[in-house]
Amino acid sequence: MAGLLLAIIYLAFVSLGLPDSLLGSAWPSMYQGFGVPISYAGGIAVVISLGTIVSSLLSDRFTQRFGAGKVTASSVLVTALALLGFSAATSYWQLCILAIPYGLGAGGVDAALNNYVALHYASRHMSWLHCMWGMGASIGPYIMGFALARNQGWQGGYRYIAILQMVLTAVLIFSVPLWKRRVHTSSQDRAKASADAGAVSSSHLGIREILSIPGAPQVFLLFFCYCAIETTAGLWASSYMVKHLGIASDAAASWASMFYIGITVGRAFSGFMTIRLNDAVMIRVGYAIMAFGLLVIMVSGSSSFIVLAGLVILGLGCAPVYPCVIHSTPATFGVDRSQAIIGVQMASAYTGSLAMPPLFGVIANGVGIAVFPWYLGVLLLVMIAMHESMQRVKS
């Protein structure tokens, strides 16, 4: 039963990743039909991020009341219905309204599962869990490219993903009884679990109390910057290749998925590397590779092949950062605080996803989309500074 539960958790994260890269890959084909500027993709991303912020902050209460299994299944169902609505939308404002349940569903899955795995499974499983997210995010643009290449439009791409989400919802509903049994893969995880019993019954920490914890503000800003990089790259890489390099929209939709493929492959290898390297070292390796990937994009000129390589390297660097920071949370801040800390981490991450991709859209409209890698570079520098500051506080 332990292996089956873990497989279901992995499957849930595949479902979380499937729609995450759709908007970025489809938007070059969408915006003209709605009669809006290309920068309006940021508006939809803002609404999605607001929904995820709200649901992540409420995840502690909902998970304690209903359990991680029910929260996950219902969240995936809500996301599936929102995607089906996307496929039938006829105006930009309909997309914005449908983005609300889209974001609420995604945030519910993310916060509940991240804390569950951080408490009950070893670091390698956290990396492989997020590898499953990357697999879903990598498949999404290919499905969209498939629909576009066969003249089914971006609507067809959204319909395909919605159907897959419905199937995953059915699997998750039937798996709900498995979540009532907590399975732990090591003595360290069992120790965490015993402490977790006290955490569940403890009072909720307020935002002021959380922010007063040494190292907490740094880790929240780290999450803000990391997800700003990941979401901006996912949303705008396709448009960067179309507008800056002159690549066809259907090709760019598929090529942009190379960033997510880099994340997916990197997290598969990261799971093995965490057996020998601790979380802090893995994070440092990650941001060094991210810096190299951005450098490759910056010096690529008009070469689509080099830009593609840079996106893959950037994805490889992103791979260990998010899962290793989350997995280290119970050890860094205490098991009794982990759900509260992870909830705010998710909210910080989604705030970065909310604020920074639209800001890039405004900058791209005024300065040009060529600033794409430089924008990501500034965010990376802040992320590195926050991680190193957090390490000094811990020591």
Q: What percent of the chain has pLDDT over 90?
A: 24
pLDDT tens profile 74-123: 888 999 999 999 999 989 999 999 999 998 888 777 777 777 777 777 77
Q: Is 207 within a domain?
A: no
Instruction: Return the residue matching tokens 């997800």.
Output: 227
Q: Is 204 within a domain?
A: no
Q: Is 365 within a domain?
A: yes
pLDDT over threshold 60, residue 196: no
Predicted pLDDT at 381: 96
Rounded Cα gap, residues 193 and 395, in angstroms: 25
Residue 71 domain boundaries: 2-177+212-394
Return the higher-pLDDT residue of 184 and 283. Answer: 283
**Please, are residues 103 and 52 in contact by the beta-carbon 8 Å criterion?**
yes
Who's near 392: CB < 8 A, 6+ residues apart? none
Q: Is 141 within a domain?
A: yes
Predicted pLDDT at 181: 56
Q: Which amino acid is at 286?
A: G
Rounded Cα gap, residues 128 and 231, in angstroms: 20
Predicted pLDDT at 202: 45
Q: Is 216 within a domain?
A: yes
**Please, are residues 9 and 244 in contact by the beta-carbon 8 Å criterion?**
no
Please state, rounded to an integer, the average pLDDT across all residues of the chain: 82
pLDDT tens profile 13-23: 887 788 877 88
Q: What percent of the chain has pLDDT over 70?
A: 91
Task: Please give the structure tokens belonging to residue 25.
Answer: 């890959």
Q: Is 183 within a domain?
A: no
pLDDT band at 177 (very low <50, low <70, confident <90, very high): confident
Predicted pLDDT at 2: 57
Task: Please give the structure tokens belonging to residue 276.
Answer: 């020998």
Task: Please give the structure tokens belonging to residue 90.
Answer: 């006829």
The pLDDT of 37-42, averaged and rounded, is: 82
Angle formed at CA 314 by CA 310 and CA 319, multiple of 5 degrees: 150
pLDDT tens profile 119-175: 777 778 888 887 887 778 778 888 888 898 888 989 999 999 999 889 888 888 888
pLDDT over threshold 60, residue 178: yes
**Please, are residues 260 and 141 in contact by the beta-carbon 8 Å criterion?**
yes
- The three-class DSSP label of residue 81 is helix
Predicted pLDDT at 204: 63
Rounded Cα gap, residues 238 and 240, in angstroms: 5
- The three-class DSSP label of residue 124 is helix
Compute how many other C-beta atoms are within 10 angstroms of the C-beta atom of residue 4.
Answer: 11
Q: Is 63 within a domain?
A: yes
pLDDT band at 205 (very low <50, low <70, confident <90, very high): low
- Domain with residue 222: its CATH number is 1.20.1250.20
pLDDT band at 188 (very low <50, low <70, confident <90, very high): very low
pLDDT band at 295 (very low <50, low <70, confident <90, very high): very high
Rounded Cα gap, residues 362 and 227, in angstroms: 18
pLDDT tens profile 343-392: 788 888 888 877 898 899 889 888 888 899 999 999 999 999 999 988 88
pLDDT tens profile 230-266: 989 988 888 888 887 777 777 777 677 788 788 888 8
Who's near 264: CB < 8 A, 6+ residues apart? 131, 134, 135, 137, 138, 315, 319
Rounded Cα gap, residues 26 and 31, in angstroms: 9
Predicted pLDDT at 190: 41
Predicted pLDDT at 261: 82
State the DSSP code for 6.
Answer: H
pLDDT over threshold 60, residue 195: no
Predicted pLDDT at 1: 57
pLDDT over threshold 80, residue 320: yes
CA dist list (Å): 233 to 35, 50, 57, 373 = 24, 19, 25, 9
The pLDDT of 329-342, averaged and rounded, is: 77
pLDDT band at 292 (very low <50, low <70, confident <90, very high): very high
State the DSSP code for 202.
Answer: S
Give the chain's domain count.
1
Predicted pLDDT at 379: 96
Of 104-113, 292-301, 316-325, minimum mean pLDDT range: 104-113
